[in-house]
């Protein structure tokens, strides 16, 4: 099996069964994630916990390849769990995916500092979760770290722009930018490549993707205008007081991240 990192670069993947611990106080969410992972052959749920304290107790005596932890739980939340696990060196050779219903820049930054590899915003599909898991657990060394850095940059730029994270448009923009960065040297067509790709991924239509993205930008322009304007100025957008099109928004973030990657490699 192989994974395409860029258009001219293929890396081999070593498949194995990865042991997973789920940490979530919601019984329904635990059932949903169990059903998602039961459909795979490379991930096996070997432990479940209802809060951070229970998870820490399990983690003292067992190793997991991946831990999926909800950010907001009673008794001991996801941040406190990460802090304690990180300080006690429980996360060595373990990847952590944090699940969150809300977007808070400081909280997310702290989670990443304490060992989280990815943040996934609810609601999410099984395809998103399994894709993230496979990226984290494949043996592609520095390419994995670059993927994580790109993921973090996308989240940061979307947060800085002020678009609301609870909307479908936010998820569509995130996936569109990720997809756009896979073919590093390509020039994208939003109607021919981006909309169809995102629509297929989320089982919807290209028209719905277009509308959701435009609505998302409208909400940012109307409700978070100062934040959006500041973001557009930092991106050197031609009209910082206006509202960019879907294509312009995706393009400026894509180009900014490309610049950062090239700068880091030079």
Residues 148-187 pLDDT 10s: 677 778 888 998 999 988 888 998 999 999 888 876 555 6
Residues of the chain with pLDDT under 70: 1-15, 105, 139-148, 183-188, 265-266
Q: How many residues does the chain have?
A: 266
Question: Is-contact 44 17, C-beta < 8 A?
Answer: yes
d(CA 154, CA 148): 10
The pLDDT value given to residue 167: 87
Q: What are phi and psi of 73, to 5 degrees?
A: -140, 155
The pLDDT value given to residue 232: 96
Q: Which of 23, 78, 86, 32 is nearest to 55 (CA)?
A: 23
- Which residue shows structure tokens 């670059």? 146
- Which residue shows structure tokens 């795979």? 40
- Does the domain at 2-140 match CATH 3.40.50.2300? Answer given as yes
Residues of the chain with CATH 3.40.50.2300: 2-140
The pLDDT value given to residue 57: 93
The pLDDT value given to residue 230: 95
The pLDDT value given to residue 183: 65
- Does the domain at 156-265 match CATH 2.115.10.20? Answer given as no
Considering the entire predicted model, what is its pTM? 0.53
The pLDDT value given to residue 2: 33
Q: Which of 185, 170, 198 is nearest to 254 (CA)?
A: 185
Q: Which of 42, 4, 260, 14 is nearest to 143 (CA)?
A: 4
The pLDDT value given to residue 219: 95
- Report in angstroms the alpha-carbon separations of 118 from 78, 153, 219, 221: 13, 11, 26, 28
Residues of the chain with CATH 1.10.10.10: 156-265
């Amino acid at each position: 099996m192989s994974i395409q990192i860029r258009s001219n670069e293929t890396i081999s993947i070593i498949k194995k069964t990865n042991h997973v611990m789920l940490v979530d106080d919601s019984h329904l969410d635990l059932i949903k994630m169990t059903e998602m992972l039961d459909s795979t052959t490379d991930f096996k749920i070997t432990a479940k916990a209802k809060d951070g304290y229970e998870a820490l107790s399990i983690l003292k005596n067992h190793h997991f390849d991946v831990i999926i932890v909800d950010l907001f739980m009673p008794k001991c939340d996801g941040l406190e769990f990460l802090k304690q696990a990180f300080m006690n060196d429980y996360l060595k050779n373990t990847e952590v995916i944090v699940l969150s219903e809300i977007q808070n820049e400081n909280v997310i930054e702290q989670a990443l500092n304490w060992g989280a590899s990815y943040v996934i915003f609810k609601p999410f599909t099984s395809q998103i979760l399994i894709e993230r898991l496979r990226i984290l657990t494949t043996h592609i060394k520095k390419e994995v770290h670059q993927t994580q850095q790109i993921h973090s940059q996308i989240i940061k730029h979307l947060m800085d722009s002020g678009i609301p994270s609870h909307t479908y448009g936010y998820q569509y923009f995130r996936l569109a930018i990720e997809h756009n960065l896979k073919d590093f040297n390509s020039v994208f067509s939003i109607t021919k490549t981006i909309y169809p790709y995102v629509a297929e991924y989320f089982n919807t239509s290209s028209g719905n993707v277009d509308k959701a993205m435009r609505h998302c930008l409208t909400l940012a322009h109307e409700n978070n205008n100062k934040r959006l304007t500041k973001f557009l100025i930092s991106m050197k957008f031609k009209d910082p007081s206006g509202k960019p099109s879907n294509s312009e928004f995706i393009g400026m973030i894509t180009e900014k991240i490309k610049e950062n990657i090239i700068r880091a490699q030079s």
